[in-house]
Chain A
């Protein structure tokens, strides 16, 4: 099947037309061989914010579906399987994924291609670190089963490789045992970024999951600096820790969103004013300190999944996400970014701060030890220049911007952020000399 269609990323900016194609795992080789002059890219659930999963004027391969299977403590899943379906499949067996990003609505293929991270990165590393093997179809039409031991170069070029080394058709993932589907959560509130960062630096190693929400609009009150914040940390709850009510449902399954954002919303709903109001409520709602709260996996890991299509709240102009990582000693870049935004009036509805553990061998993998800050920003005049300035500070500090979220980085800055891109290009020269695999992100960043 093939059909001309409009494609956009989750941020709903830069729409383009391309031909959507579908096929079974066995047909991918032929689809690659017959791709037109603008090539082909695989798409998962389109949760990357920018142009990674679109290929203007070319072909876009829609998710390859299939039923997951459990083999010992491994799960074998088709690349198009969503983590939502995978978690629903695993939980009744008392198993869970070691890494899950902020939404369950990502595909296994997309999670590998972006080498996604979760709240546990400092302990577990990325999604790719738990992939036993994947089946990869390269543009010559051959399928190979790739492992980190057997073909380390191709493995680590594909993990984080943004779909540009081949099409993943299925993967075998390691899982972890969990005694329940509940998380034992501790929440702390901080008046400013300084105290938050100090607490995270000291205490994070003691927790498997940790993430902070920062109010980028607060200017700081009563001597405090900018960035009041709420830190949540958690561990999988032991069966014995469940009370009477919860022990009846030890593995509550995440459901589908109950709310949906209506279509055709105007721009400007997410404005400095509304964000300020929301942040005020959110901050006040959080306790100064609370521990022992039990939350479901869905509430703890994927709070945004409760509202379908929430990206429409930003209106037709859309929004961009800006996620940076800088080494530990460059915490100033994070503080400056928050202060710059607060001063500029560019409102970030969501600002998330996390600490990463060490980088892995992924040639274009994003995480590296240090601080990572993610900001959702409405596309507004002036934002480009502001983010360009932040890019420069990030490069200067030896950090980088996350490609899964990016939609506006310039090619020269990308090159400065990802020193291993030459190695990545060499792998592509080998598996895709004709550059059949292509995306708008690849064109934009000269990848």
Chain B
């Protein structure tokens, strides 16, 4: 159960090797939640599980491949049959190379499959768990890139725009079933995924995103920006006319 102060007893991390997911689990360490790491088998997953275990978490590991949507319903049902899923983090995604992403057919399709189709797939499975349980929070890791899609990474941005819209809608739908969806829109996050790329203004760390998630879940929010300032910036950018927007160094 999620307690009165918004602290979960169990976490499902879909994309269990994501730094943001792991930082979020750690941010809840005092509640000692049980963690299910759903990720592709391999050393990254082993390391993540071993690290959490050594920090005192009870950890289960399950095989998860975002593109293999056929496998999602059974997988999520299996996890939910062991214990309630109090908070599920949808935190898998690929960034890809921006120019390759729209010039290479396979790369573009893969991005769309993982980031959008995969997210919609687990979203629907989680929603049915939440409806059965009568409670539960789904945290969807979106991005400011989805708020106004830019030329510089529009394939990635468009997948995030799609998943963002889906989860905002899912939140409305689950409300009357006792569930919540929290859409998180971080700006540039310093992680493995962004390593080597020049940091954008207002960049944040995985820990800051984790902190915002913990607070958002406790407050029952639907949408948070990290940093909070990003919200103002993006709502400004959103209305910049296209010809001008094109010329901005974004």
Contacts of A51 in B (CB 8 A): 1, 4
CB-based contact A379/B4 at 8 Å: yes
- B134/A56 in contact, CB under 8 A: yes
- A18 & B5 in contact (Cβ 8 Å cutoff): no
User: How many positions in chain A have a CB within 8 Å of any CB in the partner chain?
Assistant: 32
The closest CB in chain B to the CB of A445 belongs to B1
Min Cβ gap A114→B in Å is: 17
- A11, A14, A320, A385: the one within 8 Å of B1 (CB): A14
Q: Are A444 and B32 in contact, CB atoms less than 8 angstroms apart?
A: no
Q: Which of B2, B134, B218 has a CB less than 8 Å from the CB of A381?
A: B218
Q: Which residue of A lies closest to B129 (CB)?
A: A57
The yes or no answer to A367 lying at the interface (CB within 8 A) is no
Q: Is B107 an interface residue (CB 8 A)?
A: no
User: Which residue of B2, B5, B132, B219 is within 8 Å of A320 (Cβ)?
Assistant: B5
Question: Which of these binds chain B: A61-69, A274-282, A404-412?
Answer: A404-412
**A410 neighbours in B (Cβ, 8 Å):** 31-32
A16 touches B4 (CB 8 A): no
Check if A440 is an interface residue, CB within 8 A of chain B. yes
Inter-chain contact B84/A16, CB cutoff 8 Å: no
The B-contacting residues of A in range 391-447, CB under 8 angstroms, are: 407-408, 410-412, 440, 443-444
User: Judging by beta carbons under 8 Å apart, are A13 and B5 in contact?
Assistant: yes
Q: How far is the CB of B224 from chain A (nearest CB, A)?
A: 14
Q: B140-151, CB under 8 A of A: which get 1 and which 0? A: 000000000000
Q: Mark B79-103, 1 if CB is under 8 A from A, else 0.
A: 0000010000000000000000000
B178 touches A (CB below 8 Å): yes
User: How far is it, in angstroms, between the C-alpha of A407 and the C-alpha of B6 when the chains are bound?
Assistant: 10
Chain B interface mostly helix, strand, loop or mixed? loop
- The answer to whether the Cβ of A15 comes within 8 Å of any Cβ in the partner chain is yes
**B4 and A381 contacting across the interface, CB-CB below 8 Å:** no
Query: Is B69 an interface residue when CB atoms closer than 8 A count as contact?
Result: no
Whether A408 touches B7, Cβ cut-off 8 Å, given contacts A14-B1, A440-B1, is: yes
- Selected from B1, B132, B218, the residue in CB contact (under 8 A) with A443 is B1
**What is the 8 Å Cβ interface bit string for chain A, positions 1-44, against chain B (1 contact, 0 not)?**
00000100001011111100000000000000000001000000
A399 to B219, CA, bound (A): 31
Identify the interface centre among A56, A318, A444: most chain B CB within 10 Å of its CB: A56
Give CA–CA (A152, B19) in the complex, Å: 54
Closest to A444 in B: B1
- In the complex, the answer to whether B4 meets A18 with C-beta atoms within 8 Å is no
Partner of B5, one of A55, A57, A383, A444: A383
| Cβ of A166 under 8 Å from chain B | no
Complex Cα distance, B30 from A17, in Å, reads 27
Residues of chain A within 8 A (CB-CB) of B84 are 56, 443
Determine if A385 and B30 form an interchain contact, defined as CB atoms under 8 angstroms apart.
yes
CB–CB B134/A320 < 8 A: no
Given A14-B4, A444-B1, are A384 and B132 neighbors across the interface (CB < 8 Å)? no
* Residues of the A chain whose Cβ atoms lie less than 8 Å from the Cβ of B178: 6, 15-18, 56-57
Q: From known contacts A318-B4, A407-B3, infer whether A444 and B9 are also in contact, taking CB-CB under 8 Å.
A: yes
CB-nearest residue of chain A to B32: A410
Q: How far is the CB of B26 from chain A (nearest CB, A)?
A: 14
The answer, among A11, A57, A317, A408, for a CB contact under 8 Å with B133, is: A57
Provide the bound-state CA to CA distance between A31 and B86, in Å. Answer: 27
Complex-state Cα separation, A317 to B6, whole angstroms = 10
Does B72 reach chain A (CB closer than 8 Å)?
Answer: no
Give the distance in Å from the alpha carbon of A16 to the alpha carbon of B137 in the complex. Answer: 11
Instruction: Pick the residue among A14, A411, A412 that contacts B2 (CB under 8 A).
Output: A14
In whole angstroms, what is the CA distance A317 to B221 when docked?
A: 11
B185 proximal to A (CB < 8 A): no
Q: Are B134 and A16 in contact (CB under 8 A)?
A: yes
B160 at the interface (CB under 8 A from A): no
Taking A38-B132, A411-B9 as known contacts, 4 extra A-B pairs with beta carbons closer than 8 A to each other, sorted by chain A number, are A13-B4, A381-B218, A384-B5, A444-B3
Which residues of A are at the interface with B, using a C-beta cutoff of 8 A?
Answer: 6, 11, 13-18, 38, 50-51, 55-58, 317-318, 320, 379, 381, 383-385, 388, 407-408, 410-412, 440, 443-444
12 A-B residue pairings within 8 Å (CB atoms)? A13-B5, A15-B135, A16-B134, A38-B134, A51-B4, A55-B134, A56-B84, A57-B132, A320-B4, A379-B6, A440-B1, A440-B135
